[in-house]
Amino acid sequence: MEELQRALSSRGLTVSTLPEKGRCLFTTRDFRPGEVIISEKPYVCAPNKSGDGVEWRCDGCFGTTNLKRCSTCQVAWYCGSNCQKEEWKLHRLECDALSKLDKDKRKSVTPSIRLMLRLYLRRKFEAERVIPATAMENYKLVEALVSHMSDIEEKQLVLYAQMANLVNLILQLPDINIKEIAENFSKLACNAHTICDSELRPLGTGLFPVISIINHSCLPNSVLVFEGRSAVVRAVQHIRKDSEVLISYIETAGSTMTRQKALKEQYLFTCNCLRCIKLGQSDDIQESAILEGYQCKNVGCDGFLLRDSDNIGFICQLCGLVRSKEEIKAIASEIKSWTDKALTSSSSQSILLHFVHGVAGLEGSTGILQTDHSSIRKLIEFDPCTAGVYPGFHPLLGLQYYTCGKLEWLLGDTENAVKSLTKAVDILRITHGTTTPFMKELFMKLDEARAEASYKLSSKEDE
Ligand SMILES: C[S@@+](CC[C@H](N)C(=O)[O-])C[C@H]1O[C@@H](n2cnc3c(N)ncnc32)[C@H](O)[C@@H]1O
């Protein structure tokens, strides 16, 4: 801990403890918006299944192209020899262990199981000094993570025990016990982070034991993004010396009830941040209607359906009509599939067709107002910043302006495209920095849109 404190103090940070939160990360100097507070490589990480037709991602870069399966274990995938070489140190023993499994057992090796296998292999390598332990990277930091073992439900404990058995069976290391592995699964559940690309699409899961000291707020002063597999926390506002660094663990564009439920279920605490305690009951109903309201299907009724407190379905706040959860889920998934098609289409006409279809679904069937890119226009009109849903600089907001700008450009509305892309740049340079390939592409798009807009303007003046 002393070593960690020393390493953090050179970065203007310190770890303190608060009775209601446990460990917290505090600043010992001011940080300006956009400044990197801390960055960390994953102690261990594993790719997710990709879900877009290709089952796996490369173990090294999490990419999905040119993948070849490890011929020995048949579990790991690589996009080329560079990634394979980089990963070999950790994969060598994992590969040995996995290749002894029968085909059926190999199928149960999920990303969570692989993360745990790698955690124990990393611990072994550290003990044998194959991988050096440093102030910011050592197994002691994993031991210090909260596990909430005494708060989790019996059913969950049984699941962790089954997963721990599988890990034990695969590794067969002499010095691990099942109870400890089960506790580590519980630690992963409330400490691991989903590694996303610049557009916040999930790629994998990683454990970042120092960044895991950062607590949650629904009105955070910082944001966690990823550059490759590394986690980067940036200030999204001016953070004064002696302030707690806070990020959001969840999607903040949800009602207080939804946010509290998500935090309780996964992280086992009740959030008392300013946004959670500020809202009275009536405000929360209004906030819920804006963020999660489903339009009533009764002809002539302008009411919004909200999740009822027993969580059976959705009830109209005006006429009392109830729609089942299943009905709402089916409509939401149909809209999502249209808008996904819109965002992956290559021709502008196809993008528009799918987008319009998606928005028509949004307006006609349910009026869902959520923060995927599909509902962009509605979200932007609703102005989530002023509604207090996002802090001034939030990656999702920047990405929504980016998508909006691209769509406006495709529609030939270059003037508005420039406005939207400028807003995207203003936000994303704070949350994402300025040097990543994603940001360079955005800067280039904005320059091109500006050039096109001024060409159009000068052509008009010449007429
Ligand atoms: C990723 S850890 C954060 C660091 C943790 N405080 C520690 O002592 O290691 C997540 C856990 O911290 C606690 N936590 C995070 N944010 C909190 C908050 N706003 N209020 C209360 N507890 C919080 C919860 O116990 C949660 O499960």
- Please name each of the domains of the chain with its CATH number: 2-41+208-249 (2.170.270.10), 51-193 (no CATH), 294-368 (no CATH), 377-463 (1.25.40.10)
To test the pocket of ligand 1, the residue of 214, 215, 268 to mutate (highest count of ligand atoms within 8 Å of its CB) is 215
Residue range 154-164: mean pLDDT, rounded: 96
Percent of the chain with pLDDT over 70: 81
Mean pLDDT of 101-106: 88
Residues paired with residue 222 on neighbouring β-strands, in sequence order: 235
Q: Is 275 in the pocket of ligand 1 (CB under 6 A)?
A: no
Per-residue pLDDT, averaged over 308-326, amounts to 77
At 359, the pLDDT band (50, 70, 90 cuts) reads very low
Q: Would you say the CB of residue 216 lies under 6 angstroms from ligand 1?
A: yes
- Please tell me the residue having the least CA distance from ligand 1 atom 23: 21
Ligand 1 geometric centre to CA of 24 (Å):
8
DSSP character for 33? T
Checking if the pLDDT of 308 tops 80, the result is: no
pLDDT at res. 169? 94
User: What's the 272 CA to ligand 1 centre distance in angstroms?
Assistant: 12
Q: Which residues pair with 23 in a beta bridge?
A: 17
**Which helix (DSSP H) or strand (DSSP E) does residue 345 occupy?**
none
User: 234-275: per-residue pLDDT in tens?
Assistant: 999 999 999 999 999 998 877 788 899 999 999 999 999 988
- CB of 152 within 6 A of ligand 1: the answer is no
What pLDDT score does 449 carry? 96
| Nearest in space to 213 (alpha carbons), one of 115, 146, 140 | 146
Long-range contacts formed by 292-298: CB under 8 A, 24+ apart: 292/254, 292/255, 292/258, 292/368, 292/369, 292/370, 293/367, 293/369, 294/323, 294/328, 294/366, 294/367, 294/368, 295/363, 295/365, 295/366, 295/367, 296/321, 297/321, 297/323, 297/365
Distance of CA 219 from the midpoint of ligand 1 (Å)? 15
Inform me whether the pLDDT recorded for 187 exceeds 80: yes
- Choose which residue among 23, 205, 269, 273 to substitute to test ligand 1 binding: the one with the highest number of ligand atoms within 8 A of its C-beta: 269
Pocket of ligand 1 contains residue 429 by CB under 6 Å = no
State whether the beta carbon of 239 lies less than 6 angstroms from ligand 1.
Answer: no
Residue 221 vs residues 287, 393, 436: alpha-carbon distances, Å: 21, 9, 22
The CB-based long-range contact list for 292-295 (8 Å cut-off, 24+ gap) reads 292/254, 292/255, 292/258, 292/368, 292/369, 292/370, 293/367, 293/369, 294/323, 294/328, 294/366, 294/367, 294/368, 295/363, 295/365, 295/366, 295/367
Who has greater pLDDT, 457 or 390? 457
pLDDT at 104 over 50: yes
Q: Is 102 in the pocket of ligand 1 (CB under 6 A)?
A: no
Q: Residue 385 pLDDT > 60, yes or no?
A: no
Mean pLDDT lowest for which of 17-26, 116-125, 205-214, 311-320?
311-320
Q: Specify the residue with its C-alpha closest to ligand 1, atom 25.
A: 269
Could you tell me what percentage of the chain is helix, strand and coil, using 3-state DSSP and rounding each to the nearest 5? Answer: 50, 15, 35
CA of 206 to the centre of ligand 1 (A): 17
Q: Strand, coil or helix: what is 428? A: helix
Q: Supply the mean pLDDT for the chain.
A: 85
Ligand 1 atom closest to residue 144's alpha carbon, by position in its atom list: 9
For ligand 1, what atom is nearest to the CA of residue 145? Answer: 9
pLDDT at 407 exceeding the cut of 90: no
